[in-house]
Amino acid sequence: MAASRSQLSRHLQDRPLVERTGQLTSEAEREELRVALVATQESVAMQILLEACLLTEEDNVCMELYMIPC
């Protein structure tokens, strides 16, 4: 995640804002979009980790067989 943030920051520095009709109008708007992108990436990463840690039906059966408390 840190690498993604630094790559995005570098990308924005390497490509200055160019005014075009219907596109970004200010550096503040650009920064707001960058923050939203990073927050979305972090949220997706957390969701993937949480789903990977969910107990499956097989896990529940094994715990019952070996009397492992949940």
**Residue 42 token pair:** 């972090």
Domain coordinates of the chain in residue numbers? 2-65
3-17, 29-43, 45-59: which has the minimum mean pLDDT?
Answer: 3-17
What pLDDT does 31 receive?
Answer: 87
pLDDT tens readout for residues 11-40? 888 887 776 666 666 888 888 988 999 999
Residues 48-62 have a mean pLDDT of 85
- Helix then strand count (H, E) for the chain reads 3, 0
Output Rg (C-alpha) for the chain, integer angstroms.
21
The mean pLDDT of 49-59, rounded to a whole number, is 86
29-45 burial, b at 16+ Cβ within 10 Å, e below that, comes to ebeeeeeeeeeeeeeee
* C-alpha span between 3 and 5 (Å, rounded): 5
Coil, strand or helix: which one is 56? coil
